[in-house]
């Protein structure tokens, strides 16, 4: 996969910049979250893994402060020229706001980006799929700038700057999960991350005859245009109400029992539902990791199912496309768990499917989804990979 991606991005670079002199190639993965959704900005736990699909960059330094960007995924945009000194997002400049936001974040932290660069990107993550193509390009850009300029910065700090870029430059009030797992991923392991403390544990994913299958709804959505920021505000409102009677910093500090005893203090019913999801989902994630460590794959799958139901009923971020994919998946033989993954409002589902049933799963779910939504789903049987690297 990475060899093919390297060839594709090098071909794209040569096509638009007419040379391959002094070009280096880097890769950063996409990610899928197995369980723990909309908990990262609520101080809870998440359980994502990096994938072997992701984003590639072919890049070379320039002798001036000009940055030229090209994406194989958005060829009609052509070469977009910007400058290392730009600190404001430009909606007309498409995807380049993500890498330029990383340049701005690094410079704000005191790192010297002394020269511009020519770069071509290629991603084999489906656009707007919820597999975190935006965080992938942020971490990738931070990583290649670290390597090109010899910056003394850790992958964890690159992840934190990626979140800062997303929050302040792009305008999406996301948590740390996406950038963290992309920067810190480990092959064949998911990462149990406490988003309140950034303490983490690598947990081997041993599925014993099962595979992770991602279904992409092809329902396009952008986080800024979705109700993502609204959900975060609703959780903040619920937290503020609880703080009037209990001293806590995040919803992730509460057990289910504590939430039930305190929920009457949340004035707005909608905010109460959002907070219930945040608390219960955090506890589900903790239990799910234990199930996986004990080899209880079916127990893990049941918690995945409960996660989706909560995201549908309490957090209300699924929609007909994701619900249709999950409902169809749960009818299939050999499926032990299925849920939406990512922010919702479109994007992807993740299912754990018995090896021998994967072909019939893809066939049945694809047909049912097309019949109900008139959309074609794409399916990916994925492997868990490492974080960013130079190829």
Whether 93 is in a domain gets the answer yes
Residues 67-113 have pLDDT tens digits of 999 999 999 999 999 999 987 888 888 899 999 999 999 999 999 99
Whether 8 is in a domain gets the answer yes
Full domain range(s) for residue 171: 2-202
Instruction: Give the model's pLDDT for residue 226.
Output: 61
Number of structural domains the chain divides into: 1
What mean pLDDT is predicted for residues 46-55? 95
Q: Which helix (H) or strand (E) holds 231?
A: helix 228-243
Whether 116 is in a domain gets the answer yes
Query: Catalytic residue numbers?
Result: 178
Upper half-sphere CA count for residue 331 (Cβ side, 13 Å): 15
Phi-psi domain of 130 (left: phi exceeds 0; alpha: psi -120 through 50; beta: other): left
Whether 132 is in a domain gets the answer yes
Distance, CA of 231 to CA of 281 (rounded, Å): 15
Overall pTM surpassing 0.85 (yes/no) = yes
Whether 154 is in a domain gets the answer yes
Q: Which residues, at least 6 apart from 379, have a Cβ–Cβ distance to it below 8 Å?
A: 213, 214, 215, 216, 362, 365, 366
Distance, CA of 323 to CA of 362 (rounded, Å): 16
Whether 17 is in a domain gets the answer yes
Whether 144 is in a domain gets the answer yes
Distance, CA of 26 to CA of 121 (rounded, Å): 10
Residues 347-377 have pLDDT tens digits of 899 999 999 999 999 999 999 999 999 999 9
Exposure string over 141-167, b if 16+ CB within 10 A, otherwise e: bbbbbbebbebebebebbbbbbbbbbb
Instruction: Give the model's pLDDT for residue 88.
Output: 82
Residues 232-278 have pLDDT tens digits of 999 999 999 999 999 999 999 999 999 999 999 999 999 999 999 99
Closest listed residue to residue 183, CA positions, set 155, 203, 153, 148: 155
Whether 390 is in a domain gets the answer no
Residue 155, domain CATH: 3.30.230.10
């Amino acid at each position: 996969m990475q060899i093919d991606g390297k060839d594709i991005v090098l071909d794209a670079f040569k096509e638009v910049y007419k040379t391959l002199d002094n070009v280096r190639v880097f890769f950063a993965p996409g990610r899928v979250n197995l369980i723990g959704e909309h908990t990262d900005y609520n101080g809870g736990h998440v359980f994502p893994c990096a994938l072997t699909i992701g984003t590639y960059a072919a890049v070379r330094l320039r002798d001036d402060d000009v940055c030229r960007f090209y994406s194989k995924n958005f060829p009609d945009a052509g070469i977009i020229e910007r400058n290392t000194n730009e600190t404001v997002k430009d909606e007309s400049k498409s995807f380049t706001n993500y890498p330029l936001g990383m340049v701005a974040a690094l410079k704000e932290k005191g790192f010297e980006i002394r020269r511009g660069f020519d770069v071509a990107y290629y991603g084999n993550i489906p656009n707007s799929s919820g597999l975190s193509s935006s965080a992938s390009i942020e971490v990738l850009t931070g990583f290649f700038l670290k390597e090109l300029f010899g910056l003394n910065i850790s992958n964890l700090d690159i992840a934190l700057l990626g979140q800062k870029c997303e929050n302040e430059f792009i305008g999406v009030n996301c948590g740390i999960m996406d950038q963290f797992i992309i920067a810190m991923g480990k092959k064949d392991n998911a990462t149990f991350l406490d988003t309140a403390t950034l303490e983490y544990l690598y947990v081997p994913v041993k599925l014993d005859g099962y595979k992770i299958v991602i279904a992409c709804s092809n329902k396009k959505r952008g986080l800024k245009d979705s109700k993502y920021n609204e959900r975060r505000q609703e959780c903040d409102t619920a937290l503020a109400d609880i703080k009037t009677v209990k001293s806590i910093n995040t919803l992730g500090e509460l057990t289910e029992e504590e939430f039930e005893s305190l929920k009457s203090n949340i004035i707005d019913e909608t905010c109460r539902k959002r907070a219930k999801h945040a608390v219960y989902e955090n506890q589900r994630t903790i239990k799910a990791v234990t199930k996986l460590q004990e080899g209880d794959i079916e127990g893990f799958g049941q918690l995945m199912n409960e996660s989706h139901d909560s995201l549908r009923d309490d957090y209300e971020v699924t929609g007909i496309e994701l619900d249709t994919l999950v409902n169809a998946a749960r009818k299939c033989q050999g499926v032990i768990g299925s849920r939406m993954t990512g922010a919702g409002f479109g994007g992807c589902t993740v299912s754990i499917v018995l090896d021998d049933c994967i072909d019939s799963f893809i066939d049945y779910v694809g047909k049912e989804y097309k019949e109900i939504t008139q959309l074609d789903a794409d399916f990916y049987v994925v492997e868990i990979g490492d974080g960013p690297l130079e190829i």
